[in-house]
Structures are given as structure tokens and as C-alpha cells.
Amino acid sequence: MLNRRTTLKLFVASLMMPKQAFAKSPREITWDDLLPPGVPYSEIIGEGDMDEANGFWDPVYDANAVKLNEDLDGRYVKMAGYIAPFDVSPEGVKDFMLVPYVGACIHTPPPPANQLVVVSSATPWPSHKLWNPIWVTGLLRTQLQSTSLGQTGYSIAADELEDYEW
């Protein structure tokens, strides 16, 4: 049984420990995890049309494209992807869309909403690294919203941004 003195010592010691000791570990997820359970990627995209004038395929998404994996709402996650910036400042990028492949949303039609994540970070990502793959760690929310780059299904309040190492 702990007495008051021992309890007080443990409490004071816990205050002196680094915050990271109490941080929970993120769940590493992939783009497939964002799909609703039981819906394969092949059932999200319809046939679509070829945009001959611009030289790219214009996919037609069905109702499954806006279905989200609600089991991930409120989870602390870590996922890799590429940056599609909303705007770039001299300090770098704080608000961007995390996309599954380089150039998504910039020169081609955007992926379906359940394959796009809006990220906001207090720490900017350097603008000279915009084309590099990145790890994003933070709290994930399921939330359909429209942006200038396309409709998204998820958002992350990023605690950490880091280079993705192959």
C-alpha cells in the first residue's frame, strides 16, 4: 500500500518526465485503410471519359467515393503521402492536401474524396521539399468538405511532419 509521501514522490516524478513518455503511439495507416470496410477501390471509380482536349482520363465516381471509414474518426494516426499545397509562404506550407501520388489534384482530376486528406500544421513544411514524400502524424477526422483542389473526406491536425524514408 502506498503512503502519502510515496504517492507525492511519484506524482512529482511524473511531472518531471518528458511529455513524450505519456504520448500515445500513432496507428500507422495506408490509403486502403481510408476506404470504407468492405468496399474495394475498384468499386469506387466508374468507367469515366477520356478528356481528349486536355489529354487525361476524367473518372466518374459513384456513391462509394464519398463513403468514409468512420472507425478512423478521432484516431491518432501516421500516414505517408504527397503534398498538394493550398498556398505557399516564405516559411513553407502549413495547410495542404495529403494525396496518394505525386501530382494528384494539380494536373489531373482529383482522386475520390475518401482518398484525400486536408492537413493543417502549426509547423510549416519547407517549400523546397514539396515534391518529397512525407509522413504526417496527428488526429484524423472523417469530414466531407470541398476545397479548391477537390472534395475531401478526411482531415488531420498534424502534430508532426517528417520526411518519408524508403
58 found inside a domain:
no
- How many domains are there within the chain? 1
Q: Which residue has the higher pLDDT, 14 or 95?
A: 95
Q: Look up the CATH number of the domain holding residue 151.
A: 2.40.50.870
1 found inside a domain:
no
125 found inside a domain:
yes
14 found inside a domain:
no
108 found inside a domain:
yes
Mean pLDDT of the chain: 83
- Give the residue numbers spanning the domain of 114: 27-35+68-163
| DSSP secondary structure, the chain, as one string | ---HHHHHHHHHHHHHS-GGGTSPPPEE--GGGGSPTT--GGGTB---EEETTTTEEE--B-GGGG---GGGTT-EEEEEEEEEES--BTTBEEEEEEESSTTTTTTSPPPPGGG-EEEEEEEEEPGGGTTS-EEEEEEEEEEEEEETTEEEEEEEEEEEEEEPP-
94 found inside a domain:
yes
Q: Does the pLDDT at position 129 exceed 90?
A: yes
pTM value is 0.78
53 found inside a domain:
no
| Residue 74 pLDDT level (bands cut at 50, 70, 90) | very high
The per-residue pLDDT for 13 is 46
